[in-house]
Structure 1
Amino acid sequence: MATLRDRLDHVLGTKAADQLGESFDMTTVEDLLRHYPVRYATQGQPLAEEAPEEGAHITVIGTVSKTELKPMRQRRGRLLRVDLDTGAGKPIEITFFNGDKVNYLVKQGVRAMMSGTVHYWRPDRWNLSHPSYLILPAAGESVENLTDVRGGGALRGLAESAKGTEGVDVSFFEREYIPVYPATAKVQSWDVLACVRQVLDQLDPIDDPLPADLRAERGLLAVSDALRLIHLPERKSDIEEARERLRFDEALALQLVLAERRHEMGGRTARACPPRTDGIAADFEHRLPFELTAGQRKVIGEISDDLSRPHPMHRLLQGEVGSGKTIVALHAMLQVVDAGRQCALLAPTEVLAAQHYRSLRGMLGELGAGGELGAAEHATKVVLVTGSMSAKEKKAALLDAMTGEAGIVIGTHALIQDNVEFHDLGMVIVDEQHRFGVEQRDALRAKSKNGISPHLLVMTATPIPRTIAMTTLGDLETSTLTELPRGRSPISTRVVPAKQHPTWVDRAWERIREEVAAGRQAYVVCSRIGDGEEEGAKGKGHKGKSPEEKEAPTTHAAVDVYETLRAGALAGLRVGLLHGRLPADEKDQVMRAFNAGEVDVLVCTTVVEVGVDVPNATVMVIVDADRFGVSQLHQLRGRVGRGEHPGLCLLITESSAMGTAMARLEAVAGTLDGFELSILDLRQRREGDVLGSAQSGTARSLRLLSLLDDLEVITAAQDVARDVVAADPGLTRHPGLATMMNAAVDSERLEYLAKS
């Protein structure tokens, strides 16, 4: 017999256990049983009358009604085209690329199971390309065991894994649902299934970690039943009920971690920074040349209340591009400065750090000229610390931070180095928080002295859906700015399909010339610098071709586009180049020249994605726009339309008109709602990527929970977790819940969460 904690080598043997450990980092029976199927092969899966989605994986059983060998156009060999009659209308078209090796098995009249991915060649034509297959007994033929396994790919492997001394148990293939697992080249899905079946045959009864009253209240299966049915369901309802239970376990495990962290954070102390009516914050607000929006005032009030308490603030400030987050953050910093303490603003790039420095100095005026002639009565000093500063400049800035002369210290990762000390750090602001590792944020917070925690404000212009925030950001309170300040101009976005309409590309460059002639400026953004290195773009590839005709996508490098444009379409204009591998002083010089209007067109990479504010820039052309993610495109276009003139963003792409990349670009062009786009972005990416950027690999613990779709589950789990932890900190009276939590989120991930 076996328990969840038993080692796999004791249950399966060394060879199988070593392969699972190497491929999936599995060591225990529980690791294996929580390696859930990604889908289920179904017998004779009926197809809806409308066509399946591109990329959908379907499994069908039918009779081969027609075969045809055809030479491939761009490589040697022949394709085998197969029509599979499933008895559900029009036959399904199947394509095998190794036609000469397959046609002796896949012949007219044979009955077969085939499992593959749907590919569209044209809007009205799809097929299964190179599926796995298994030749089955003819319909109605009485065969208990197959002694001769004939087929290819995953289905053949599955049959081989089920083969006993008397052949393959055909009854297993007559199951309504056959699990299909995440696999590797060394460990295929059928290998995992064989191990799972072996373990389930030996598994002891499991002590359920959830109290019986909670299971009854939510109508949840016992965990032992859920773990069996998720792997070997008899009915569709078995799958749904098993997933419901295991999904709740995942949500509860994470929420227990976060509830414990919230409880622990409640015991930390911070220096209260109550607002003053006669300090620099009040002076700043009186001098503002514009009126704050109602949303900005509300958020300023929320942050002010947090700063007034003797416990560290943990707040997320999110808002649309251009919604005025910087002015809100500055108001918070000035409240802390009024209390006699310092603020550190951490930015992800030197370009953004320098932009913040210039922006804050400009907004503060004489209030930011502390220590200088002409400074206002309540003035503070603002300093910049970056890795590329001269030794003399850096030494002076560090001295101002250490003595407390500087109330606001702005910098990149250089701020977290050991030689950076603060006199009395009262608040840390992290801009674009998703770009920093947890250790980096923790190292800066640790610079506060005497065990006193600084207040923490993290900012992002990438809107985060509520469920993501609840799960990845733990106990951060969330403030959201949704309205744009008065005076912000609208931005229109258009897709430029370069292959279908090449003259539209020429028109894009003409639009830039027209804007420059009117006294305005433009950006041209590229996905890479020039030697094959990507700089922030998320490659998507091209779709829409038949599988044998696909080829690697080509992209345009910033240095090449720069040379081409200034010698051709934009000849005579002042064209500049900016990318991440330029020396820091050169980057700063280019950005200053663009700010000052001395550069008409800035050819750049994604170094301008966040924080760059040039009100005179009105048009942006994004080359190879399909190489960028949805949120990235939304961020980039927020660099235009920041002044009195409307903004225009042109998305140039060579993608197929019917491909998913084009659909994604059209969605970006169709709305300026960042929250709507963030949800679209997350649906197109693995949610684990989102988690990984926030807490280092927690994706491993979320196999079934959807952070976008399972709000009710997450909310319920959060309520349960907070009630349990409030009554039993440390879970000493709930050992089952503690075990479940630690199984889902290991000690390394717990440490990351505790720091985040």
Structure 2
Amino acid sequence: MRPEILFPYYAPVTSLKGVGPKLAPTLSAHVGSHVRDLVFFLPSGLIKRPLVSVSQARVGEVQTIAVTIGGYPPSPPKGPQRVDVFDDTGRLQLTYFHRIRGFEQQHPVGARRLISGKVEKFGQYLQMSHPDYIVDEARAEDIPPCEPVYPATLDLSSRMIRKFVQTALAALPVLPEWHDENMLEKHGWPSFNDALTRSHSPESDLDQSADASHRLRLAYDEALAHQLALKARKQHRQATPARVVVYRTWWDLALKSLPFALTGAQDRAIADIRADLASGHRMNRLIQGDVGAGKTLVALAAMIDLAEGGFQSVMMAPTEILARQHYEKSLTILQAVGIRSILMTGRDKGKAREEKRAAVANGEVTIIFGTHAVFQDGVDFKALQLAVIDEQHRFGVGQRQKLFSKGDAVHYLSMSATPIPRTLALTQYGEADLSILDEKPAGRQPIHTAVLPRQRLADVIARLRSAVAEGSQAYWICPLVEDTAESDLIAVELRHSELQEALGIEIGLVHGRMPSEEKDSVISRFATGEVKILCATTVVEVGIDVPTASIIIIEQAERFGLAQLHQLRGRVGRGRDKSACILLYDTPLSNNAKARLELLRDTEDGFKIAEMDWKLRGEGDILGARQSGFPDYRFVDPVAHSRLIATAARDAVYILDHGNALPEPRRKAIEVLKQLFDWRPDIADKQD
């Protein structure tokens, strides 16, 4: 049950004065349906309104001026309404492009008013068009010297949101303190209520920075609540009995079929997994590795161990292309030890689909590769004990839960091809144990990366023509020109036709709006060498494995994130031939974009690139973090607050381990904290 003290936080926004049935849907859609959502909706900017005289007014800036209404110059009936105002130092004119009924009666000649807005110059005169405020001097407090600005909509202005926020804050109860007094004193943090109030009433730009004391307090509280949910779930999982799986001999046989040796990082990851499987508790481990680090082979080792013990495993991928590649690359290894595997996708129909389902249900097949088809109704497992999920953030919580429900205490192994700094991994994968593959298998070719302006496009096409004539294969990647699927489609189709005309050969075309079968067909023809060049969008970013492709050209590379560019570059360098990545950019190039592209040119270390990527994004890029699969934080900036997250993770473990020894008031206060942020264990980090 939610503590009674939090009832006002979870009251509907319609309980606030001024939020009627007409406005409520708009406010709920933009901010959230509860008062808590509103007060957790922080301002994104700040308007400073210094009080100046007319002679001190600076053109182009927002200022507040005490004036006297001087008169209303005549103007055409449909023309703008103008108001002459003055003070002891000069004159200024107010302009309203839409006449306001009763304005002259409300602000008669000779009345003293405070006006606030952007001062502009019109000819020789200063003017203020549509002032933000015009109030009687006695109501000076109505104009904030520093006004927070909230993300607004057409029907919901920043000022309306601010009014509702202030109304809500005034009605909220003072919450009990869940931190030790020494900790608050050490960091100089205010109480939670004071921190929330100050976040909505900034007095300077510093008050809005991620490291302001009140922002740090809110961020830590949110991170701690999140980590408490993650760690509690981890403790619950570790206390849940699971089948013990012991490594025997099949993997040794499988290794003999490989033409290469495993890296030290792969050996360590396999040892981590085997310790989990032998512990008698459910495994939840993330294999995080750079492009080409060999994550799939590590997962396959676990699946072979399970098969030897008589259990089933499934590897689920977000696309049919990727699922098919996992299946085909694993076939030789599995056949070497006599393990039968199948591929299950949405393309399976009729008798073939029923035969596969029957083989899974009766245990004839012990290793299954597939897409979302593996967790559909009608797919039953005889002894499912391990679920391996590739690029797990592309699957919803419900989808993963549906898969886990097909077995009893199923072990969970996830794989991520996007390196992120260790501290940030605490945020995204706080419940999982982490194994990092930071070595590349022997034989991987270095990739020569060149950064060129797009003015040299003709030179690049000429070089590509020569390379293809010598037998090379290449990717040509087109960017998202605007934030719409239509423009993306136009861009790639246009470049595709231009390349075909320039090179005089058939060029494959792949984009996200193509039917899966058509897309797979084109990629298959590229993989077999029938098609020499593949013109594509970022649908080839992850998982496409064509060892014979040795060139990738990425247009308008400055539009992509560093991590995404690194993933795209990883499509080449997989075979014996020397590989090249050409990054084409539009001029002029900003200093930030130049630094990013130069970093990519100078290193292939995905973790180093990821670290720099997050730093170059800058503080406050919560949207970018969310797009990378991070939780929907309100106060935490995963980049700026990365150390705070690490501290919260350690403190959460301490609280869970020693909670009973804490004074009762503090234990109850911590429960209030958890319920306030509502990081429910089933959705805490968007995992199972």
The two structures have a TM-score, normalised by structure 2, of 0.80
Is 2:481 the partner of 1:526? no
1:441 to 2:397 alignment: no
Which residue of structure 2 lines up, in the alignment, with residue 38 of structure 1? 44
Partner of 1:422: 381
Pairing 1:745–2:678 present: yes
1:656–1:662: 8 Å Cα contact kept in structure 2?
no
Q: Does 1:677 align with 2:609?
A: yes
SS of alignment partner, residue 709 of structure 1: coil
Q: 1:186 to 1:283 in 2, by over 3 A?
A: same
Percent of aligned pairs sharing the same letter: 33
Deviations 1:217-274 (A, max 9, x none): 5443222322332233567887622112212111111112112211221222221211
| Conservation of the 8 A alpha-carbon contact between 1:23 and 1:187 | no
- The answer as to whether partners of 2:510 and 2:522 remain within 8 angstroms in 1 is yes
Alignment of 1:555-704 (within 5 A): 557-566=491-500, 568-571=501-504, 573=505, 575-580=507-512, 582=514, 584-654=516-586, 656-658=588-590, 664-682=596-614, 683=617, 686-688=621-623, 690-691=625-626, 694=629, 698-699=631-632, 702-704=633-635
Q: CA deviation at 1:440?
A: 1.5
TM-fit CA distance, 1:62: 8.9
1:210-229 to 2 correspondences below 5 Å: 210-212=179-181, 214-216=183-185, 218-229=187-198
* Structure 1 Cα separation of the partners of residues 224 and 299 of structure 2: 33
Aligned pairs, number: 633
Question: 1:385, 1:409 within 8 Å by CA — same for their partners in 2?
Answer: yes
Aligned match for 1:388, one of 347, 352, 361: 347
Contact 1:323 1:484 in 2 (8 A): yes
Q: Could you list the per-position Cα deviations for residues 286-324 of structure 1 after superposition, in whole angstroms to 9, with x for gaps in the alignment? A: 332212222221222112211222111111111111112
Distance 2:629 2:195 in 1: 30
What's the RMSD between the two structures over aligned residues? 4.1
Distance 2:171 2:46 in 1: 23
Name which of 440, 449, 453 aligns with 1:484.
Answer: 440
Aligned residue among 457, 465, 471 for 1:513: 465
Give the Å deviation of 1:405: 1.9
Could you tell me whether the CA contact under 8 Å between 2:481 and 2:487 is conserved in 1? no
The answer for the alignment partner of 1:134 in structure 2 is: none
CA distance in 2, matches of 1:343, 1:147: 72
Give the Å deviation of 1:395. 2.8
CA contact (8 A) 1:280 1:379 kept: no
CA distance in 1, matches of 2:528, 2:515: 20
1:264 paired residue number: 236
Matched residue, 1:146? 113
Instruction: Give the match's secondary structure for 1:353.
Output: helix
Correspondence for 1:455: 411
Gaps of 5+ in 1: 46-58, 67-81, 87-99, 113-142, 370-375, 528-536, 542-551
**Kept in 2: contact 1:63–1:111 (CA 8 A):** no
What residue in structure 2 maps to residue 714 of structure 1? 645
- Name structure 2 gaps, 5 residues minimum: 65-78, 93-109, 121-127
User: After alignment, is 388-397 or 298-307 more displaced?
Assistant: 388-397
Matched residue, 2:73: none
Determine which of 185, 200, 210 is the counterpart of 1:231.
Answer: 200
Q: Following TM superposition, by how much is the alpha carbon of 1:704 offset from its aligned partner in structure 2, in angstroms?
A: 2.6
**Structure 1 residues 193, 555: closer, same or farther in 2, change over 3 A?**
same
Over 3 Å counting, the alpha-carbon distance change for 1:105 and 1:666 in structure 2 is: farther
Q: Distance in 2 between matches of 1:562 and 1:599?
A: 13
SS at match of 1:398: helix
Per the alignment, in what secondary structure is the counterpart of residue 367 of structure 2? Answer: strand
Give the conservation status (yes or no) of the 8 Å contact 2:8–2:173: yes
Contact 1:336-1:426 at 8 Å conserved across structures: yes
Residue-by-residue CA offset, 1:10-51 (whole Å, 9 max, x unaligned)? 553444983774354455554433332323334669xxxxxx
Tell me how far apart the structure 2 counterparts of residues 24 and 158 of structure 1 sit (CA, whole Å).
26
Cα distance, 1:434 vs structure 2? 2.1
Distance 1:422 1:609, change over 3 A: same
**1:260/1:526 CA distance change after superposition, 3 Å:** same
Q: By how many angstroms is 1:652 displaced?
A: 3.3
Residue of 28, 42, 49 corresponding to 1:22? 28
Q: 1:255 aligns with which of 227, 231, 234?
A: 227
Pairwise CA distance, 1:343: 1.3
Distance 1:633 1:580 in 2: 18
Which letter does structure 2 place at the counterpart of 1:593? R
Matches within 5 A, 1:75-94: none
1:83, 1:203 → 2: CA distance?
36
Spell out the pairing of 1:2-401 with structure 2 (5 A cutoff): 4=9, 9-15=14-20, 18=24, 21-22=27-28, 24-26=30-32, 29-42=35-48, 63=56, 146=113, 160=133, 166-167=136-137, 169-170=139-140, 175=145, 177-200=146-169, 204-212=173-181, 214-216=183-185, 218-233=187-202, 240-276=212-248, 279-362=249-332, 364=333, 368-369=334-335, 376=336, 378-401=337-360
Partner SS for 2:406: coil
1:403 maps to a residue whose letter is: N
Name the amino acid aligned to 1:193.
R
Deviation at 1:511, TM superposition (A): 2.3
Does the residue aligned with 1:706 lie in a helix, a strand or coil?
coil
Question: CA–CA distance in 2 between the matches of 1:316 and 1:402?
Answer: 28
- What secondary structure is seen at the aligned counterpart in 2 of 1:493? strand
Contact 2:285 2:432 in 1 (8 A): yes
The answer to whether residue 377 in structure 2 is matched with residue 410 in structure 1 is no
SS of equivalent residue, structure 1 residue 485: coil
User: How has the CA–CA distance of structure 1 residues 251 and 85 changed in structure 2, closer, same or farther, with 3 Å as cutoff?
Assistant: closer
Residue in 2 aligned with 1:736? 669
Which residue of 1 is the match for residue 124 of structure 2?
A: none
Q: Does 1:466 align with 2:425?
A: no
CA 1:693 to 1:111, structure 2 compared with 1: closer, same or farther past 3 Å?
A: farther
CA change 1:516–1:315 in 2 (3 A) is: same
Question: Are the structure 2 counterparts of residues 225 and 416 from structure 1 closer, same or farther at C-alpha, using a change threshold of 3 Å?
Answer: same
Q: 1:410-447 CA distances to partner (integer Å, 9 max, x unpaired)?
A: 11111111111222112111112222222222211111
- 1 CA distance for matches of 2:312 and 2:264? 28
In the superposition, relative to structure 1, how do residues 11 and 469 fare at CA in structure 2: closer, same or farther (>3 Å)? same
Report if the CA contact (8 A) 1:256-1:722 is conserved: yes
Q: Relative contact order, CA 8 A, sep 6+: which one is greater?
A: 2
Change in 2 beyond 3 A, CA 1:620/1:172: same
TM-score normalised by structure 1 residue count: 0.74
Q: Which amino acid aligns with 2:402?
A: A
Residue range with higher mean Cα deviation, 556-565 or 290-299: 556-565
Local SS of the residue matching 1:344: strand
Q: Structure 1 residues 657, 283: closer, same or farther in 2, change over 3 A?
A: same
**Displacement of 1:620:** 1.1
- The aligned counterpart of 1:54 is none
Judging changes above 3 Å, is the alpha-carbon distance between structure 1 residues 595 and 574 closer, same or farther for their aligned structure 2 residues?
Answer: same
* 2:440 partner SS: coil
CA contact (8 A) 1:347 1:411 kept: yes
Helix, strand or coil: the match of 2:502? coil
Corresponding letter in the other structure for 1:638: G
Give the whole-Å Cα distance in 1 for the aligned partners of 2:55 and 2:230: 50
The DSSP-based 3-state class of the residue aligned with 1:569 is: helix
Instruction: State the AA in 2 paired with 1:178.
Output: E
Contact 1:493 / 1:669 at 8 angstroms: preserved in 2?
A: yes
Task: From the superposition, tell whether residues 196 and 152 of structure 1 become closer, same or farther in structure 2 (CA, over 3 Å).
Answer: farther
